[in-house]
Amino acid sequence: MACGLLAVLGLPGALPQWRLDGNPNPPSQAQINAAEKKVRQQQAALGAQQGRLSAAAAELARLQVQAEVLTERYDEVQVDEQRAAAAYRVTEARLKYAQQAESASQDQLAGLAAEEFESGGGFDSMTAMLGDANGPQGYLNEVGLGQVLAQYGTDTLAESQANDVVARVFRAQAHDLLVAEQADLRAAGELKVAIQAAVARQHAFVRADKAERDKIARQLASAQASAAALQAARQAALAAQAAAAGGSPEAPTQAPSWAWGSGASVTQGDIAANWALTQLGKPYQWGAAGPDSYDCSGLTMEAWAHAGVQLLHYTGYQWEEGPHVPLNELQRGDLLFYATNTSDPATIHHVGIYIGDGMMVDAPYTGAFVRIDSMYAPGGLIGAVRPAG
């Protein structure tokens, strides 16, 4: 415990820093109050930035879902366009066949005309039909359908008219089908590109917000360490002065709630909490205890190891490795436990490290990263433990 205190204070041996600097007086209560005010300001800034990060992450998640939907829509339209292109090729083949049939029908009509002329009938009505500016249909309208069909062969004329209609229908179908699908594909592609660009921009926003959050968290850790060092230096100096005078030291502004053998010190809790803040952004991995990834109890174990307290790598055991403390008496570094049944410690499944103002650092679950959460966010808060010093 003493080594941990000296590390925080940055002191060689037991000589306080304020004496090394040539200052005969220990830190004043006003200095400590100013340091604690800075801590509160940094905590407020961290909470606000965490809110911005959460909002940016939620917007990113929404855009990613939208991107997935539009990407699938693009894939659907692309398949439809491929089918339309295949249908176009089939239709082109049908159109070619219809055009050939139409040409053959015209040849048959021309043959009928030639036969009629050679047999002495002259051009009369057949020649008029072929030479009519409106084509066979115009002629049929003029002379009457029944008369012409009776004279020049019902099957041949009907086939000629049908092939002409089929050819025109196929032309329209092939063109309209392909143009419509290609237009859909362009539109879907443009939407896909637009939403992917929006996702990329939002990713950049989230990275920037996260970097700012981590920066503020480091500043908070530094401010908290400074305030803890000042408080410890003042109490040590007052205790030394009282011992030299044969009296009792000035009572600290707030007596610590821990006692030797029952729980770690405020300073150790600060060390654990501050170190946990330096691990933000590292991925959750089941069974991991650093340095690149953690599960929940692995993170708490390593945090308290930096404060000189050894914990076991299991939430159930950590629940028993220190006194239980009321939630209204939490100190930084205390462990917060979560259970599926808050009346049964055997159902504990998660643990986080309290950092103040109702917030904690935790490694939540697979696919997530070490982050700052509200102590009430996971649900099922069963209690808190102050690891034994």
Give the rounded percent of residues in the chain with a pLDDT score beyond 70: 66
User: How far apart are the C-alpha atoms of 335 and 285, rounded to whole Å?
Assistant: 20
| Per-residue pLDDT at 27 exceeds 60 | yes
User: How far apart are the C-alpha atoms of 154 and 321, rounded to whole Å?
Assistant: 104
User: How far apart are the C-alpha atoms of 63 and 372, rounded to whole Å?
Assistant: 23
What pLDDT is recorded for position 12? 36
Beta-carbon contacts of residue 42 (< 8 Å; ≥ 6 apart)? 216, 219, 220, 223, 224
The full set of domain ranges for the chain reads 26-255, 258-389
Contact indicator for 367, 339 with CB cutoff of 8 Å: no
Query: What are 42-78's pLDDT values in tens digits?
Result: 878 877 887 888 888 888 888 877 777 776 677 777 7
| Per-residue pLDDT at 118 exceeds 80 | no
What pLDDT is recorded for position 11? 35
Question: Which of 34-38, 114-118, 121-125, 172-176 shows the lowest mean pLDDT across its residues?
Answer: 121-125
Q: Give mean pLDDT, residues 307-336.
A: 92
What pLDDT is recorded for position 297? 92
Angle at 81 between CA 79 and CA 85, to 5 degrees: 120
Q: Which residue has the higher pLDDT, 350 or 216?
A: 350
Q: Which residue has the higher pLDDT, 255 or 109?
A: 109
Q: Which residues pair with 221 in a beta bridge?
A: none
Q: Which residues pair with 384 in a beta bridge?
A: 325, 336
**Region of residue 174 (left: phi > 0; alpha: psi -120 to 50; beta: else):** alpha
> What are the contacts of 39-44 at 24+ separation with CB within 8 A?
39/220, 39/223, 39/224, 39/227, 42/216, 42/219, 42/220, 42/223, 42/224, 43/220, 43/356, 43/357, 43/359, 44/357
Report which of 76, 90, 80, 91 is spatially closest to residue 181, judged by C-alpha positions: 80
What pLDDT is recorded for position 301? 95
What pLDDT is recorded for position 4? 31
**Neighbour-count burial of 118, counting CB atoms closer than 10 A to its CB (0-12 exposed, 13-18 middle, 19+ buried):** exposed
Contact indicator for 230, 35 with CB cutoff of 8 Å: yes
| Per-residue pLDDT at 155 exceeds 70 | no
User: How far apart are the C-alpha atoms of 362 and 47, rounded to whole Å?
Assistant: 15
CATH of domain 26-255: 1.10.287
If pLDDT is split at 50, 70 and 90, which confidence band does 5 have?
very low
**Neighbour-count burial of 217, counting CB atoms closer than 10 A to its CB (0-12 exposed, 13-18 middle, 19+ buried):** buried
Q: Which residues pair with 77 in a beta bridge?
A: none
Helices (H), 246-345: 266-277, 296-305, 315-318
Beta-carbon contacts of residue 244 (< 8 Å; ≥ 6 apart)? none
The reply to whether the predicted model has a pTM over 0.85 is no
Average pLDDT, the chain: 74
Q: Which residues pair with 339 in a beta bridge?
A: 348
Q: Which residues pair with 266 in a beta bridge?
A: none
Helices (H), the chain: 2-9, 17-20, 29-116, 124-131, 135-143, 145-152, 154-245, 266-277, 296-305, 315-318
What pLDDT is recorded for position 41? 85
**Sheet containing 381-385: which strands, arranged edge to edge?**
324-325, 381-385, 335-339, 348-356, 359-362, 371-374
Q: Give mean pLDDT, residues 159-164.
A: 59
Q: What would the two tokens of residue 346 be?
A: 């055997």
Q: What are phi and psi of 126, to 5 degrees?
A: -65, -45
CATH of domain 258-389: 3.90.1720.10
Neighbours of 158 (CB within 10 A): 12
What pLDDT is recorded for position 19? 46
If pLDDT is split at 50, 70 and 90, which confidence band does 244 have?
confident
